[in-house]
Structure 1
Amino acid sequence: MNVDERPLAGYCLAASDDPDLVRAAVGEAFCDHRLSPLSGATGLDAHFHGLHWSSAGVYYLEYGADVRIDPCDLDDFYLIQVPLAGRATITVGAESFTSTPDIASVLEPGPRVSMSWEDANRQLLLRLDRTVVQDTLRKKLGREPLAPLVFQPRMDLTTPAGRTWGGLLKLLTDAVGSAAAPDSIPVREFAGLLVSQLLLGQPNNYRDELEDRPRPIVARPIARAAELIDAHAHEPLTIDDIADAVGVGTRTLQDGFRRYYDTTPMAYLREVRLRRVRTDLLQADPTNATVTDIAIRWGFLHPGRFSVLYRSRYGESPSQTLRLERDRAARA
């Protein structure tokens, strides 16, 4: 595979046949570990790409040889590994399974882990700091968790929840690979959505409680949530952040928006941002501004989808809106 075709090619951390160099680079991103080429391996052809920001990081890794990996404790982060090709054997505590493009692995602080990657195995990796996962769980529960969070280590990517999660990870990887700034609204919200969907979709010891019926809806917190969205639409926002800020659970917030606004909190946020995009397009200088820059500033990462959404809402393309002021000036 051409190096430029690999995910996150612009963020190369290591490209080497030297096991010590590769182990050091991977260890710096994750944790110290033992990397052992397996019998018959003729040498590595490793490629390690990625970057880390605030409380998350996305990576691409291939070793190009059969290897065994024995990590030290993952004491402060979760690591979700999604194969793009090939196979790996994952052992977490007493459980062992084969990871393929249909089966991802969820590694968490605590259990002893070992892995064997086949030479054709290529993976996307998402690192999530323990604090952000625990904080999202707290926001969803509406209270402090009483017991440590424990995930099932085998993630089935063929289920609806698994397909959704895998698709979100690839969208995040594409966004970062396309040079979207890690601190931009879309990237930070994608990362937050991945944490939220991991808690809701991957079996864990809190999932029954997370699926319980929401508390009774109270109008005032829902109105405060709408006010918060209006005031902070220029910042990264997740449904968990909004619910936490107004003191309700996420399901209560969702039910409240459906009852009082006939929409969802994130659809409400999208409408607010669409209005802000239109305002900026009308006020921008079309010789200096671009539709893409303005759209990304307000959290719209995919140009095609944004254009369809914008035209549906306003009956014209965003580029037509951007030209309006110039056309008016030319007619004056």
Structure 2
Amino acid sequence: MHAEAGSPPAVPLSSHVLFQSDDLDCARERVAQKFCRHRLDIIGDKRFFRAAHHHLPGDMISLNYISYGADVLIDPGELTDFYLIQMPVAGSATIRNGHKEFLTDRSTASILNADLATRMRWWQGCAQILIQIRKAPFLDFAERVLDRELPGPVIFDPLVDFSRPQMQSWRGFANGLFYSAEALANAPRGAEIHMAFNEQRLMEIFLREQPNNMSLFMDGEAKGPSPRHLRRADEYIREHAAMPISLLDIADAAGVNARTLQLAYKSTYGVSPMQALQRERLKRVRFELLASGGRANVTETAMKWGFAHLGRFAGDYRRAFGELPRETARRAAD
């Protein structure tokens, strides 16, 4: 394997070797100890099989390097307790997570969602660096980043496209973590804190830039710190979006008069408090339609979130998201 600019070392995490083995059963069990139980079968010529796993634990994430040498089939089903970002540094792999199947190589990576079934084929010569993300602390972290209670688990688009400038930048940051990990064995005290800060920054960027079902809640965020009364109003809207609340209700919850609240929303978000409430309701409808897999009834979902005039709702929804709600529901079913 040859090092390239912006790539991790030729053999990533070489100071953190967990095991090397040419025994299939040994490799399966040792990898399962760090990840989860899974099916691992050699496809084709067994002479090329030589498993290696390098591993460095962190707080929310762990850094890993895995290669099998041979062509292998890997079937863990649902990962359940963790997400897994996989970036080939050599060769390629065919990934299926949920209903989406695609090929990964140096230009395309994958993020395996914890709640979707996974099945993979790592082709002969494939070697990958992997970032394992513990689900529970990550979801807690996501709530702090989004400043809201999550309406469900985070589901990423499993295909990570490194032709996008945002993800090229993220990959450079991720590779930097693998480089710096080589020095952690002899690092001074305090290196763990620096590592924890970097992993939080890594995951914040990934959450913001990799398409996922929470991306719609990041639109319209305030730039910089917001006044306390505005934060209280935002929280009240999020918690009571399904209820018939008024401008005065929001102002009372914020602790200011209606005029002050209107001016604060206009200067910070460019909309009125009631427009912000409608935008929140539209996002909740869209989230539920996408999460339902096509099973949600558009009319019932719209009325649940306070839209009694369905024709006007459909027009507002299309202006906000570029498609009709029935088209969202149909796409979610595919």
TM-score > 0.5, shorter chain as reference: yes
Structure 1 vs Structure 2 CA RMSD: 2.5
Paired amino acid for 1:205? N
- Out of 174, 195, 206, the position equivalent to 1:198 is 206
1:207 is aligned to 2:212: no
Is residue 48 of structure 1 aligned with residue 53 of structure 2?
Answer: yes
What is the CA distance between 1:43 and its match in structure 2? 4.1
1:186 deviation in Å?
Answer: 2.2
**Alignment-derived partner of residue 184 in structure 1:** 192
Task: Please say if 1:20 is aligned against 2:28.
Answer: no
- 1:52 partner letter: P
- Paired with 1:217 and 1:94, the residues of 2 have a C-alpha distance of 39
Counterpart check, 1:69 vs 2:74? yes
Which deviates the most, 138-147 or 122-131?
138-147
Give the counterpart of 1:106 among 79, 103, 111.
Answer: 111
User: Would the alpha carbon gap of residues 88 and 143 (structure 1) be closer, same or farther in structure 2, given more than 3 Å must change?
Assistant: same
**1:31–1:72 contact (8 Å) kept in structure 2:** no
1:89-128 aligned within 5 A: 89-128=94-133
Residue 235 (structure 2) aligns with: none
Unaligned ranges ≥5, structure 1: 222-255, 257-332
Distance 1:218 1:114 in 2: 44
What secondary structure sits across from 1:137 in the alignment? helix
AA at the equivalent of 1:56:
I
Alignment of 1:1-332 (within 5 A): 5-179=10-184, 184-214=192-222, 217-218=225-226
Give the partner amino acid of 1:103. T
Cα separation, 1, equivalents of 2:10 and 2:224: 51
1:164-202: CA deviation from partner (whole Å, max 9, x where unpaired) = 121111111111112265962321111111110111010
Distance 1:117 1:127 in 2: 18
Question: How far, CA to CA, are the matches of 2:160 and 2:226 in structure 1?
Answer: 36
Q: Distance in 2 between matches of 1:86 and 1:216?
A: 43
Structure-2 change in CA distance of 1:183 and 1:116 (3 Å): same
CA change 1:216–1:115 in 2 (3 A) is: closer
- Return closer, same or farther for 1:24/1:115 CA change in 2, 3 Å cut-off: same
User: What is the rounded CA distance, in whole Å, between the counterparts of 1:144 and 1:183 in structure 2?
Assistant: 31
- Equivalent residue letter for 1:91: R
Letter of the aligned partner of 1:19 in structure 2?
A: L
Q: Deviations over 1:181-236 (max 9, x none)?
A: 59623211111111101110100011121132318954689xxxxxxxxxxxxxxx
The 8 Å contact of residues 79 and 128 in structure 1, kept in 2 or not, is answered as yes
Q: Distance in 1 between matches of 2:47 and 2:129?
A: 24
User: Does structure 2 conserve the Cα–Cα contact (< 8 Å) formed by 1:32 and 1:72?
Assistant: no
Cα distance in 2 for residues equivalent to 1:27 and 1:105: 19
Contact 1:70 1:115 in 2 (8 A): yes
> Partners of 2:10 and 2:116 in 1: how far apart?
35
What is aligned with 1:286? none
- Residue matched to 1:238: none
* CA–CA distance in structure 2, aligned partners of residues 200 and 218 of structure 1: 19
The answer as to whether partners of 1:151 and 1:205 remain within 8 angstroms in 2 is yes
Is this contact kept in 2: 1:78–1:130, CA < 8 A? yes
Q: In structure 2, do the counterparts of structure 1 residues 183 and 27 end up closer, same or farther at CA, with 3 Å as the change threshold?
A: farther
User: How many Å apart are 1:162 and its aligned residue?
Assistant: 1.1
Aligned length: 222
Unmatched segments (≥5 aa) in structure 2:
3-8, 230-267, 269-334
Instruction: State the identity %.
Output: 32
